[in-house]
Structure 1
Amino acid sequence: MTVSALKQIDHTQRHTPAELAIAGAGGQQYQLLVDHSPVAICVHVDGRYVYVNETLVRNMAARSADQLLGRKITDFVHPDSLAAVRQHIASRREYGDRTPPLEMMIVTLDGATRAVEALAIRTRWEGRPAHKVVFRDLTMQKATEANLRFQAALVAHVSDAIISTTTSGYVTSWNPAAEVIYRRPAVDALGLPIGGVLGADLDLAAIVASGGVVHTTHRVGDGSELTVRVSVSRMDDGFVVSCANQTALRRAERQCQMVVASLQEGVVVITADGTVESVNPATLRIFGAPVAGVDIVEFAKVAEVSVYDANGRLLSWDERPVMETLKRSPRRGCIYGLDRLSDGERIWVSINWSLLDPADPERSSVLMSIVDITEQHNAHQQLAYQATHDVLTGLPNRAHLVALINDAIGSAEYRWGAVLFIDLDKFKVINDELGHHAGDTVLEVASQRLRAALGPDDIVGRVGGDEFVALLAAPIQRVKVNALVRRLHTALRKPIRIRDEGPCAPTIRAHVSASIGVVAVQPDEQRCAAEMLRAADAAMYRAKETGAATCHSSDAADVVVRRQKPNRRAAQPVRAGMTG
């Protein structure tokens, strides 16, 4: 039985045995085909669903046919399509009338919108006029068409030249960007070999085989050159060639390289894995490496030289700024000392570093800028040294010693065990009798001897005209303090040779001694530096009262006056205590 014959049968009417025989098994098969058809099918009477097949149930996001049967068909028609749907239904007036396919939008139960094509015919259902509708889902078709339109627009509006060719390399399409880049209209390029229109020999198959991308030079009609990145993809009937004009980019890169190369400031780029990627000539000059013929690997050896902090302290490997530090803590103006590669001379540099790509710190390279501040640093250090040291002897001055004592008291470190106040005996007589040049010589020699007699961790400074203060490193026992005092007296007792200012003047030997006051410093010391210096000064005067070359301790529990073996010449008038 034909489908058209099945459409004529109304299963609700009485039929002759002959008619039912005709419908018979064929009608049942037809019903199964409709129920399980992959095409969505429905029947509506008076504008309401009376039949829906399984495919339509699925397409409408329904759990069963019961969610659709009895509902108005217009409940599922998008407002934009309602007028066209009603017009098509009204135009099917007689049994068997068909309407042309109608593209429309339907709204499913889950609120989604789908594009469909509806093909409808007028029929009967249970003796009443009905409409049978077959739906074809256009969603994928519409998406494909939209994608094709997007691709066409993309090809037409991209800034890269998109060129299609045959398998033998003859141009079959030439987009607007190609016309602009190569200054050639499409009509002058179509049908020609691609190498000829691009001004370069191109083996498209070889480019694909080697990875699909090459950087090369093309020539336009007037002979000017273009720096181009060429990408080639193989298609069924030929090739698609994308040409990105990088002429301006390469020109900008060259200009940037020239600027970096001409800078007086060093510039270094370090990759995320810590590899030195690039250095400019100024960097090589600052570090004393040959400006020509040095590769990155050789320059990287600078990382192996000694590095010092701003105070001149040698940094261990753990204290150096490693790659992780550079990434996590961008900084400016960090000062480091380095021993120059060419001659080993200490140089000082100010280093700034920052991420090239802050948005991706894990994979970003680090940019370092380096400024040679050796002259400024040395001048600053010299000024700082002069502010804290005695000009004549080079020893720390009073301000420096006070700071050292107070810093130690204010910290948890037990640094100083004793303070010694040292005053040269009868120094004024030397100045008066021999002149200030002789006094300066005595002060210089005495400072050298005091420094030499102390331990490596002890410090001696000049706090006045003929007054010195020594800080003895902790911990130190009383017996060791006494031994050190005796060593100081012995060192000062040696004659000091003084040459008179006259060209024929004889050399004079001066003999000096010192009175020394001692103050012990406790681990839990509460006195400040000024108080301890006053106590040591008072102890020194107690020692001086007992005679020259003596020592006195201010400790109440251990007040000791230690008289050294008298140096009679030190106590005599200067002229009598000097020999020519």
Structure 2
Amino acid sequence: MGEGNTDAASAEQLAQRYRSLVEHTPDAICVHESGTIVYVNPAMVRLLGARSPEQLLGLSITVFVHPDSVGPMLERIQHLTAEGSASPRTAMDLVRVDGRTVPVETVSVLTVWQDKLAFQVVVHDLSAQRAAEASARRAEAYFTTVVSQLEEGVLVVDRQGRVESLNPAGRRILGIDEADPVLGLHIDEVPLTMIDRDGAPLKSGRHPMAHTLATGEVITQYVFGIERADGQQVWLSCNCRLLNPDSPDSAGVSSFADITAYRASRRQLEYQATHDALTGLANRSLILSQLSTALADEGGTLVTTVLFIDLDGFKAINDTLGHAIGDTVLQIVAQRLQQALRSEDVVGRLGGDEFLVLLAGHPQRADLPALVERLRITMAEPIIASGHRLEVSASIGITELGPHESRTPEAVLHDADLAMYRDKPSAHRELGLGQNRRSNNTHAS
């Protein structure tokens, strides 16, 4: 076989491989010469919705180009003057046989087709991509609409701590006006002060969002407070997580709810459960709890002395003047006890006219008689209630806690009660009135 025949065979093989590639490529390919379609591959037939290539061959290429895209297309190919030159990738719209519009991306190459210059066009269908983009836009719009309607605040912060978005509820909760620019600000620059549960300043580095951004860990129901620019203090419960846990550059999102009213309500319920409704003093439950804590303290620094106080003759006031005046007497006695003792001492009402004092720290044994005498004098001062001038005295029992105390709170209370009973006036004991010292006052907690 001669050299010429060998070259011809090689060229034919190359052409065959090219035709096979063009026929099976997923991208649509057509060739138009002087504007007339002279070749389409199967993918182009499918793209334009034709039954066969013959339905397309011989037609003007502009028949299948959207009118808005015809002018720019013609202008692009006019600049292709050298064989092998190609136009830039361009998005445009084609029109199928059934009239539907198809978004595509095209590249036109000036080439030789059957010994004549022609334009080979590679067409990539963008329908799936556009559908995905439209779906993403719809999802984003839906997400934006939902987030904007939430009662919870939603804050998105980027990796550098800058605010990317804040929904209307978030602005309302944080006290930030719609007109105030906040996007792009670092979280430290947002006009508010964060505080922890105890009211101490909370630096942004200690906020759970900082922890989530640093570690990717999800934080739930973290409670903290903010002092807003308008002076209001608001308590929040927030959750923090990464928007995309699989991305190292993911922003963080925090959802938060205003729990100020709930917190105040809960604190009020806790207060009511542990304090006497009439006097505001600690009730029996809280007193026993405090005493139990003190007994468990091996250092013995919380409570070292317990005073059991009972008002002498209080039952007579209730019986003769009524419970309203009796209540006033109890309230005044409670106030006097609190004023006469230190803030670290605990004053409680056990019930009726019985009070208990837990002395904190290490009072000197020699100081106890003076303290007890001061309390007697304070409570013996006349009380004016509804025009009645009343005088009440108090019996006070003392029991001290040892360094290795083994008694239960109830046992300590019992010992203090016995000590108080021994302190009752001798005339009362001789008449047996001490056994009936507890009044029938019904306002005990």
What's the TM-score bracket when you normalise by the shorter of the two chains?
Answer: 0.5 to 0.7
Partner of 2:361: 474
Given residue 331 of structure 1, which amino acid in structure 2 is its aligned partner?
Answer: I
- Please list the CA deviations of residues 246-301 of structure 1 after superposition, one character each: whole Å capped at 9, or x if unmatched: 23322321221111101112111222333332111111112232244342367945
In structure 2, the CA distance between the partners of 1:451 and 1:270, relative to structure 1 (3 Å rule), is same
Instruction: Give distance in 2, aligned partners of 1:193 and 1:533.
Output: 98
Partner of 1:379: 265
Instruction: Give distance in 2, aligned partners of 1:269 and 1:512.
Output: 65
437, 442, 445: which one pairs with 2:332? 445
Contact between 1:289 and 1:342, CA under 8 Å: does it hold in 2? Answer: no
Q: Secondary structure at the match of 2:304?
A: strand
- Please list the CA deviations of residues 34-89 of structure 1 after superposition, one character each: whole Å capped at 9, or x if unmatched: xxxxxxxxxxxxxxxxxxxxxxxxxxxxxxxxxxxxxxxxxxxxxxxxxxxxxxxx
Are 2:260 and 1:368 aligned?
no
The 5 Å alignment of 1:319-338 reads 320-321=207-208, 323-324=210-211, 327-338=215-226
Unaligned runs of 5+ in 1: 1-99, 102-140, 157-161, 164-172, 205-211, 501-506, 549-580
- Please list the CA deviations of residues 376-417 of structure 1 after superposition, one character each: whole Å capped at 9, or x if unmatched: 333333222211111111111000111122234335563222
Contact between 1:198 and 1:220, CA under 8 Å: does it hold in 2? Answer: no
Partner of 2:342: 455
Given residue 336 of structure 2, which amino acid in structure 1 is its aligned partner?
Answer: R
Are 2:163 and 1:273 aligned?
no
In structure 2, the CA distance between the partners of 1:407 and 1:256, relative to structure 1 (3 Å rule), is same
Partner of 1:436: 323
Q: CA deviation at 1:470?
A: 1.5
Q: CA deviation at 1:374?
A: 3.2
Given residue 239 of structure 2, which amino acid in structure 1 is its aligned partner?
Answer: N
Partner of 2:412: 532
The 5 Å alignment of 1:392-411 reads 392-410=278-296
Contact between 2:163 and 2:182, CA under 8 Å: does it hold in 1? Answer: no
The 5 Å alignment of 1:133-532 reads 153=25, 155=27, 196-197=68-69, 245=130, 246-296=133-183, 300=187, 301=189, 304-309=192-197, 314=200, 317=203, 320-321=207-208, 323-324=210-211, 327-344=215-232, 346-360=233-247, 362-410=248-296, 414-498=301-385, 500=386, 507-532=387-412
Unaligned runs of 5+ in 2: 7-13, 31-39, 49-55, 77-87, 112-120, 429-445
Q: Secondary structure at the match of 1:370?
A: strand
Contact between 2:398 and 2:420, CA under 8 Å: does it hold in 1? Answer: yes
Aligned length: 365
Are 2:443 and 1:541 aligned?
no
Q: CA deviation at 1:517?
A: 1.7
Q: CA deviation at 1:341?
A: 4.2
Q: CA deviation at 1:429?
A: 1.9
Q: Secondary structure at the match of 1:518?
A: strand
Contact between 1:198 and 1:219, CA under 8 Å: does it hold in 2? Answer: no
Contact between 1:519 and 1:536, CA under 8 Å: does it hold in 2? Answer: yes
Instruction: Give distance in 1, aligned partners of 2:220 and 2:402.
Output: 42
Instruction: Give distance in 2, aligned partners of 1:455 and 1:377.
Output: 29
Given residue 197 of structure 1, which amino acid in structure 2 is its aligned partner?
Answer: S
Instruction: Give distance in 1, aligned partners of 2:254 and 2:282.
Output: 38
Instruction: Give distance in 2, aligned partners of 1:307 and 1:461.
Output: 32
Given residue 364 of structure 2, which amino acid in structure 1 is its aligned partner?
Answer: Q
Larger relative contact order, structure 1 or 2 (CA cutoff 8 Å, min sep 6): 2
Instruction: Give distance in 1, aligned partners of 2:223 and 2:359.
Output: 32
Given residue 531 of structure 1, which amino acid in structure 2 is its aligned partner?
Answer: A
Identity of aligned residues (%): 35
Instruction: Give distance in 1, aligned partners of 2:212 and 2:166.
Output: 20
Q: Secondary structure at the match of 1:462?
A: strand
Contact between 1:200 and 1:219, CA under 8 Å: does it hold in 2? Answer: no
More displaced 10-residue stretch of structure 1: 475-484 or 529-538: 475-484
Q: Secondary structure at the match of 1:476?
A: coil
In structure 2, the CA distance between the partners of 1:431 and 1:412, relative to structure 1 (3 Å rule), is same
Given residue 385 of structure 1, which amino acid in structure 2 is its aligned partner?
Answer: Y
Partner of 2:439: none
In structure 2, the CA distance between the partners of 1:486 and 1:250, relative to structure 1 (3 Å rule), is same
Q: What is the Cα-based RMSD across aligned positions, in Å?
A: 4.9
Instruction: Give distance in 2, aligned partners of 1:283 and 1:349.
Output: 11
Q: CA deviation at 1:435?
A: 1.5
Contact between 1:307 and 1:338, CA under 8 Å: does it hold in 2? Answer: yes
Q: CA deviation at 1:302?
A: 5.6
More displaced 10-residue stretch of structure 1: 396-405 or 371-380: 371-380
Given residue 348 of structure 1, which amino acid in structure 2 is its aligned partner?
Answer: W
TM-score by length of 2: 0.65
Q: Secondary structure at the match of 1:261?
A: helix
Q: Secondary structure at the match of 1:416?
A: coil
Given residue 357 of structure 1, which amino acid in structure 2 is its aligned partner?
Answer: N
Instruction: Give distance in 1, aligned partners of 2:354 and 2:70.
Output: 90
Given residue 382 of structure 1, which amino acid in structure 2 is its aligned partner?
Answer: Q
